[in-house]
Structure 1
Amino acid sequence: MTDHLTSTATAAAPSAPARTASGGDGRRVVVIGGGIGGLATAALLARGGAEVTLLERHDRLGGRFGTLQIDGFRFDTGPSWYFMPEVFAHFFALFGEDIDDHLDLERLDPAYRVFFESAPGQVAETLDVGIDAEANWARFDALEPGAGERMRAYAANSTEAYRMAVDHFLYTTFARPDKVLGADIVARTPTLLRLLSETLADRVARTVQDPRLRQVLSYHAVFLGSSPYRVPGLYTLMSHLDLVDGVRFPRGGMYTIIQAIERLAVAAGVQIRTGCDVTSIEVEPAGRTARAPRRTGVARGVRLADGELVPADIVVSGADLHHTETVLLAPEHCHLPEQSWRRRGPGISSLLIMLGVRGELPELPHHSLFFTRDWPGNFEALLGHGTTSPVEDLRVPQEGSIYVSRTSATDSDAAPPGHENLFILVPFPADPTLGAGPAGRAALEAHADRFIDQVGTWSGVPDLRDRVVTRRVYGPSDFVADFSAWRGTALGMEHTLLQSALFRPPNVSPRVPNLLYVGGGTIPGVGLPMCLISAELVAKRLLGETSSRALPTPLRPGFLDSSRAPDAWPAAARGLAP
């Protein structure tokens, strides 16, 4: 967001000096983009023995996972929820590190508060979801007799679905789908087919009748850039995250995760270069082979905006996948050309509003969710009728289902004394024109006014907008300008059935097989834990590791030269798919 928000970030750790060039032996890696996926990949491959250069367009690492410090306030400008703690712990364990030595995690209670739409102009009804599971079931039962026990059973089923996903689907490259279909999965085939053949909303509707409880069980679809009426029922697993695992927060802000991974990368020897805008991936033409039947070329490096060529034997792009395929690659080497994206569905975008507020806000805990009554209509406005709805079919809802984060509730230094910080996220249409130009910017600010007033009215703080002392607004056009985001999406491709798991774009180019992808545009999908896993999947692809298991911990330094896969690096350097 540095192009649109004046910010000061914590000083980055000094970059490690570049190592001696390897002379093209397959170990020079260039990673495009310093978001969490690119940074994690750089760290892993450097530990594996590669000579890694990471190139980041902005002056600060993190990509969409950013931080903003202004007027004494600190905001997390991207992801705000710390879910799937085992994924983070596993990633640090790959380096022989204990995550508790890097992050000061606090479990939040309540995990979040829900505000349900009441009569116009009235304070909303609220429901807290906390640490105590039994208390949660009792609260749910008070809204709908018998719902507590049914939601307890639903949570248990969500845990089973979660374990199935982690153990069999998230840590695989799908290079060998048969390796995914082990005896355990075959035995669960009837359950899996049911989870894939119906929507999340369908499964929730069979569990509870009260519309408020249905929202509690299905709001997670927004984290997938989608709607509960469109994502498959397998995503019941998301309820495991808040109802069973709980919600944590790293003191000092979510950006401390980026800083911690940067420390791992620097220690492993990654050369980090910020302020480097990659304009093209340089590909040398090459013919097809038996092992690479669709190959058109071999990546030999990347070109920067100032004309510099940064040579590489392997290129990993953490940039937006659409941007990588349609801008950074020449058309003859692109396997996802512009016309193919018309058959794909973008996820929801976001209106982000960062506010410094005078006075205390006890009405709002660390995480708050504001749910409108007309959820179907709300999601239809954001996503249209079909998965490939044109921009013309999308619109900004009059009232939104909104997420609000008040990190000053947990971190007192996130705001000056006597003040609070608020991060308001309003799901928005994936329309790149929203916020563009002076008129578009004025309209975006007007939308922000309306949603600030909605939060204030529903939470019982009617003078909220009058108490704002610092304000920044960020919309879809900014995602395009800063991150080359496809159609201005905040997350990327929507997680419908045909855009999930093995149907999601793979993490290697079939046309340029020494070009790999990392981040939310590829497998396993969007979100911080998924991006960390996607970094591990790049390493698995180079190792030729086709299992569905996570890599063992710790990984020994130089693991990419392991005798288990002696030809992995030379094959990748020649542009052959491992």
Structure 2
Amino acid sequence: MNRSVHIIGSGFSSLSAASYLAKAGYKVTVLEKNDTLGGRARQYKNMGFTFDIGPTWYWMPDVFEKFFADFGKKPNDFYQLDRLKPGYQVYFDVNDSITVPGNLDAIYKIFEDEEKGSSKHLKSFLASARENYDIAVKKMVYKPGISPLELVSKETIARVSQFFSTIRKDVRKNIKSNKLIQILEFPVLFLGAKPSNTPAFYNFMNYADFGLGTWHPKGGMYKVVEGMVSLAKSLGVEFVTNAAVDKIVTDSNNAVKALQVNGEEIATDLVLSGADYHHTEQLLDNNLRQYSEKYWSKKTFAPSSLLFYVGFDKKIKNVCHHTLFFDTDFDIHAKDIYDTPKWPKNPLFYASFSSITDDSLAPEGKEAGTFLIPLAPGLEDTEELREKYFNKILERLEKLTGQDVRKSIIFKKSFCVNDFIKEYNSYKGNAYGLANILMQTAFLRPKIKSKKVKNLYFTGQLTVPGPGVPPALISGKIASDLIIKNKS
């Protein structure tokens, strides 16, 4: 008889694990507390506009290809994927922006035009980044985080100094232009940490940016969710929505025996949680929790976010699909996130105008705009604060891009710390999990296999390999491999 696995949550890591476990012969049921699947990657629709509530960037396409190939499929069996050209735009001041092209030769020219000689340094930097990418993605990130020896290889030994230097030092060694520095330091924000705290080895994110490019699934990132759900269902996975897990029930030997779902007990042989790690442990009796409140309070978390989903009654000018507004001091904003948590006075922000690329996401002649301000988790979150910061970024958008957009707003919806807690049981309302700093890498992250409860496993952004959509897919594979290997 096939063993039963109940997976808590339906985010990318859960969807990934569900398919691998079903393929291996397990009877898999995914339990989602909300009324739609996808976890943080849900969708919001209003008045003919469509928004991705969560992730909007499609990077590292090779990871998606590898996932689907494990089931004899390709991404384009489920969704249409297009490379963005240009990849994104960065604003530094009024009428002062750099648009990052969709190919390397054009990127080298952009750098050389901005700072003579910088293209030579960029080529060298990206050569190292590509080597690190191959080592990281092909050899390191699929490790289960059990032993420090997982990080030891001839390649990592040769690069050991890169683990004790930082992206910031590496980037600034040869590049002097502050604009180019900010563009090179930007990708590590996907790792949820400051460039000054991120090991130089993580420059592989720059290869993911410039080398592999920025892509868009037609219809939005939710099309990836739908594709993964379709694959999982074809393998026999059952999905149950509006299924809130209240408790993980164990027997006298501290082994999982059931889940309490909406007050009803459901027997299971094994539980894999793709929900927030801290929250999942709250579903256990206190003596069965691996990590204390003190442990979590000392961890460095990636940011939370204040998000706005805005429908405009006209097309927005002088912006790209992905547009970054770096017209304020990043170091000051970063201190407000990581060092002395507070609402930033002048935050950097990001905007996605996905309907520039994809006309299916907004009515004809109109624009769908998503705005994101990174914030420290755990901050006070009120409607007054949300409105204050919306006005701040809208004022800067109008000034920097030279247009009036405020009068063209049809509607707006916000999402912030309180919503991350309510919708996803997120610890302190964080958006991206644990930051990928040196002391929270690989075996130093919370474990996939519970040390106290038999047949309880974890997957997702708070365990290995870390935050981001591609790492979430990988985390699902790691967890399922561990379950299969242990014959749980």
Flag whether TM exceeds 0.5 (same fold): yes
Aligned partners of 2:24 and 2:484 also within 8 Å: no
- 1:497 corresponds in structure 2 to 438
Aligned match of 1:540 in 472, 481, 486?
Answer: 481
Larger gyration radius, structure 1 or structure 2: 1
| Pair 1:88 & 2:64 matched | yes
* Structure-1 separation of matches of 2:51 and 2:338: 28
- 2:387 corresponds in structure 1 to 445
1:542 counterpart letter in structure 2 = I
- 1:430 corresponds in structure 2 to 377
* Structure-2 separation of matches of 1:207 and 1:466: 45
| Correspondence 1:125-274 to 2 at 5 A | 125-175=96-146, 177-178=148-149, 180-181=151-152, 185-191=153-159, 193-274=160-241
* Structure-2 separation of matches of 1:340 and 1:422: 38
* Structure-1 separation of matches of 2:53 and 2:402: 25
- 1:34 corresponds in structure 2 to 10
| Pair 1:336 & 2:283 matched | no
1:174 counterpart letter in structure 2 = G
- 2:91 corresponds in structure 1 to 115
2:154 counterpart letter in structure 1 = V
Describe the superposition over 1:154-195 as per-residue Cα deviations: whole angstroms up to 9, x where unpaired: 1111111111111221011133554553xxx3254142x221
- 1:13 corresponds in structure 2 to none
- 1:550 corresponds in structure 2 to none
Aligned partners of 1:492 and 1:520 also within 8 Å: yes
- 1:50 corresponds in structure 2 to 26
Aligned partners of 2:8 and 2:275 also within 8 Å: yes
| Pair 1:105 & 2:81 matched | yes
| Pair 1:64 & 2:40 matched | yes
| Pair 1:455 & 2:397 matched | yes
Aligned partners of 1:367 and 1:405 also within 8 Å: yes
Aligned match of 1:277 in 244, 248, 251?
Answer: 244
- 1:512 corresponds in structure 2 to 453
Q: Give the structure-2-normalised TM-score.
A: 0.97
Describe the superposition over 1:323-343 as per-residue Cα deviations: whole angstroms up to 9, x where unpaired: 112x21111110012121122
- 1:313 corresponds in structure 2 to 269
1:233 counterpart letter in structure 2 = A
Cα displacement (A) at 1:432: 4.5
| Correspondence 1:371-386 to 2 at 5 A | 371-384=326-339
Aligned match of 1:361 in 299, 316, 325?
Answer: 316
* Structure-2 separation of matches of 1:456 and 1:538: 46
* Structure-2 separation of matches of 1:157 and 1:373: 30
Assess, with a 3 A threshold, how the Cα gap between structure 1 residues 333 and 248 changes in structure 2: closer, same or farther: same
Cα displacement (A) at 1:378: 1.4
Aligned partners of 2:140 and 2:150 also within 8 Å: no
Identical counterparts, % of pairs:
31
Aligned match of 2:352 in 402, 405, 408?
Answer: 405
| Pair 1:415 & 2:362 matched | yes
Assess, with a 3 A threshold, how the Cα gap between structure 1 residues 300 and 432 changes in structure 2: closer, same or farther: farther
- 2:307 corresponds in structure 1 to 352
Report the 3-state secondary structure (helix = DSSP H, G, I; strand = E; otherwise coil) of the residue aligned with 2:451: coil
Assess, with a 3 A threshold, how the Cα gap between structure 1 residues 188 and 180 changes in structure 2: closer, same or farther: closer
Cα displacement (A) at 1:282: 0.8
* Structure-2 separation of matches of 1:457 and 1:433: 28
| Pair 1:303 & 2:260 matched | yes
2:377 counterpart letter in structure 1 = A
1:321 counterpart letter in structure 2 = Y
* Structure-2 separation of matches of 1:130 and 1:81: 16
Aligned partners of 1:356 and 1:470 also within 8 Å: yes
Q: Give the structure-1-normalised TM-score.
A: 0.82
* Structure-1 separation of matches of 2:157 and 2:69: 32
Cα displacement (A) at 1:273: 0.5
* Structure-1 separation of matches of 2:310 and 2:125: 37
Structure 2: gaps spanning 5 or more residues: none
Q: Which sits farther off after the overlay, 209-218 or 39-48? A: 39-48
Aligned partners of 2:325 and 2:349 also within 8 Å: yes
Aligned partners of 1:448 and 1:473 also within 8 Å: no
Cα displacement (A) at 1:401: 1.5
Aligned partners of 1:174 and 1:180 also within 8 Å: no
Structure 1: gaps spanning 5 or more residues: 1-21, 287-296, 385-392, 435-439, 545-567, 573-578
Aligned partners of 2:146 and 2:443 also within 8 Å: no
* Structure-1 separation of matches of 2:256 and 2:326: 47
Cα displacement (A) at 1:408: 0.4
Report the 3-state secondary structure (helix = DSSP H, G, I; strand = E; otherwise coil) of the residue aligned with 2:143: coil
* Structure-1 separation of matches of 2:232 and 2:271: 17
1:280 counterpart letter in structure 2 = K
* Structure-2 separation of matches of 1:63 and 1:455: 30
Cα displacement (A) at 1:221: 2.2
Cα displacement (A) at 1:44: 1.6
- 1:388 corresponds in structure 2 to none
1:317 counterpart letter in structure 2 = S
* Structure-2 separation of matches of 1:509 and 1:539: 14
* Structure-2 separation of matches of 1:207 and 1:354: 39
- 1:548 corresponds in structure 2 to none
1:186 counterpart letter in structure 2 = K
| Pair 1:470 & 2:470 matched | no
Aligned partners of 1:158 and 1:236 also within 8 Å: yes
Report the 3-state secondary structure (helix = DSSP H, G, I; strand = E; otherwise coil) of the residue aligned with 2:86: coil
* Structure-2 separation of matches of 1:402 and 1:245: 24
Aligned partners of 1:360 and 1:420 also within 8 Å: yes
Report the 3-state secondary structure (helix = DSSP H, G, I; strand = E; otherwise coil) of the residue aligned with 1:505: coil
* Structure-2 separation of matches of 1:315 and 1:260: 24
Cα displacement (A) at 1:141: 1.2
* Structure-2 separation of matches of 1:39 and 1:420: 31
Assess, with a 3 A threshold, how the Cα gap between structure 1 residues 174 and 225 changes in structure 2: closer, same or farther: closer
Aligned partners of 1:381 and 1:429 also within 8 Å: yes
Assess, with a 3 A threshold, how the Cα gap between structure 1 residues 397 and 177 changes in structure 2: closer, same or farther: closer
Aligned partners of 1:30 and 1:312 also within 8 Å: yes
Assess, with a 3 A threshold, how the Cα gap between structure 1 residues 380 and 283 changes in structure 2: closer, same or farther: same
* Structure-1 separation of matches of 2:126 and 2:422: 40
Report the 3-state secondary structure (helix = DSSP H, G, I; strand = E; otherwise coil) of the residue aligned with 1:218: helix
Structure 1 segments (4+ residues) deviating >6 Å: none
Cα displacement (A) at 1:499: 0.9
